């Protein structure tokens, strides 16, 4: 018997195994029924509260909220059944169940604090029913605004990330580039991108390009700084190992430095998304009176709190969901 075999047998006998998540997942474990059923329970309670408790404002009629809750209840039941029936789906369901339940519970708490007990002052805090109705009523405007936002965000963010990654890698890898580039970064970076609006509008006459350039500028700084920092702080031992394996410069940059810097790069991308979101539509759209900011300004001007909230929910949620999907995968 070889020593390796002996070692394996010892490990099996003593249970000395690595803390592998794959192994942990493979270990038999009881079906956590309450965890996967919790969204359905939360939806049922939320529906029950919505139907049984009277509204604080007697003039407020039935809203679409109850129907939406019934839909959520149906989805939650399907979720629980799928977790019970499909063993492959079960780990995901057990992981996501509490979050699903918490989201539904938040809806119920929101409904109680606004529509049912008016604990929060109206009309600044409309209930979920009113907001959902607002979403439905203004869906044409919201969809159009979302479309223009996405188009602008996509172009600006992609351009900012592309330039930021390139400049970050160059500054992180080449000392000379860092020598000349870092002072420029320190000088230009902290200045809000909106300060460059006049320059951007002069350079890009077209409103769309000026808006995209502004977003790209806002994204470029965090992406560059964090990529540079990530590349510059890759442990030297990784390069030593790669060199002794016969690696050349291309391998060192693209197969060692950039992958090792990815945690920093992802932070830069996330911060860049925040910057892009805060700069979205900060340009004068002279040809098309559409876009979330114009809609938001109109809503605020007319004191349409409900629509403002719809807009924020719609754009914020959707954009960050897309970002997560792009960065983390589906």
Partner 1 sequence: MVDANPCTPSLPLDTPTGVSIHSVSKRFVAPDGAIVTALEGATLSIAPGEMVSLIGPSGCGKSTLLRLIAGLDQPTSGELRIGSQPIEGPSAERGLMFQDANLFPWLSVRRNVQAGLVARGVLRQRRQEVEEYIRLVGLERFANVYPHQLSGGMASGLLSPERSSTIPKCCCLTSRSARSINSPACRCKMRYFASGTHGGRRCCSSPTTSTRRST
- Tell me which residues touch partner 1 (CB under 8 A): 1-4, 6-8, 16-22, 235, 237-238, 240-248, 251, 255-256, 259-260, 262
Query: At closest approach, how far in Å is the CB of 328 from partner 1?
Result: 15
Contacts 24+ apart (CB under 8 A), 105-108: 105/42, 105/45, 105/46, 107/46, 107/69, 107/72, 108/42, 108/45, 108/46, 108/49, 108/50
Minimum distance from residue 242 beta carbon to partner 1 (Å) = 6
Q: Which is nearer to partner 1, 132 or 257 (CB)?
A: 257
Closest distance of CB 255 from partner 1, Å: 7
Question: Any alpha helices (H) in the chain, and if so which ranges?
Answer: 3-14, 21-26, 33-52, 65-85, 90-111, 128-137, 139-173, 175-188, 197-203, 207-232, 236-244, 249-251, 258-279, 292-301, 305-328
Backbone φ and ψ of 180, nearest 5°: -85, -30
Instruction: Specify the residue, 159 or 256, whose C-beta has the smaller distance to partner 1.
Output: 256
Find the shortest distance in angstroms from Cβ 327 to partner 1. 15
Which CB sits closer to partner 1, 52 or 245? 245
The Cα 152–Cα 281 span in angstroms is 8
The least CB distance from residue 263 to partner 1, in Å, is 9
Instruction: Show the tokens assigned to 57.
Output: 């404002």
204 or 251: whose CB is closer to partner 1? 251
Nearer residue to partner 1 within complex by CB, 4 or 34:
4
Which structure tokens are listed for 133? Answer: 């109705």
């Amino acid at each position: 018997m070889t020593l390796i075999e002996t070692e394996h047998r010892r490990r099996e006998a003593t249970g000395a195994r690595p803390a592998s998540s794959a192994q942990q997942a493979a270990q038999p474990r009881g079906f956590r029924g309450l965890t996967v059923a919790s969204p359905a329970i939360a939806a049922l309670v939320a529906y029950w509260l919505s139907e049984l408790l009277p509204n604080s404002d007697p003039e407020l009629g039935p809203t679409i909220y109850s129907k939406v809750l019934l839909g959520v209840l149906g989805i939650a039941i399907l979720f629980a059944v799928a977790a019970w029936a499909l063993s492959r789906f079960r780990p995901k369901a057990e992981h996501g169940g509490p979050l699903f339940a918490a989201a539904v519970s938040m809806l119920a708490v929101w409904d109680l604090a606004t529509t049912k007990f008016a604990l929060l002052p109206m009309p600044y805090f409309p209930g979920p029913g009113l907001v959902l109705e607002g979403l439905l009523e203004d869906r044409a405007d919201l969809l159009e605004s979302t479309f223009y936002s996405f188009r602008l965000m996509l172009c600006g963010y992609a351009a900012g990330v592309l330039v930021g990654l390139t400049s970050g890698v160059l500054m992180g890898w080449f000392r000379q580039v860092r020598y000349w580039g870092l002072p420029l970064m320190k000088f230009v970076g902290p200045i809000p991108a909106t300060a460059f609006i006049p320059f951007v509008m002069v350079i890009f006459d077209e409103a769309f390009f000026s808006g995209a350039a502004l977003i790209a500028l806002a994204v470029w700084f965090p992406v560059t700084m964090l990529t540079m920092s990530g590349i510059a702080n890759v442990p030297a031992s990784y390069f030593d190992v790669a060199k002794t394996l016969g690696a050349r410069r291309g391998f060192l940059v693209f197969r060692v430095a950039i992958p090792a810097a990815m945690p920093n790069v992802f932070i830069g991308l996330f911060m860049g998304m925040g910057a892009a979101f805060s700069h979205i539509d900060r340009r004068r759209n002279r040809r098309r009176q559409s876009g979330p900011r114009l809609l938001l300004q109109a809503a605020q001007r007319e004191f349409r709190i409900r629509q403002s909230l719809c807009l924020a929910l719609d754009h914020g949620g959707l954009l960050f969901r897309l970002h997560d999907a792009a960065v983390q995968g589906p």
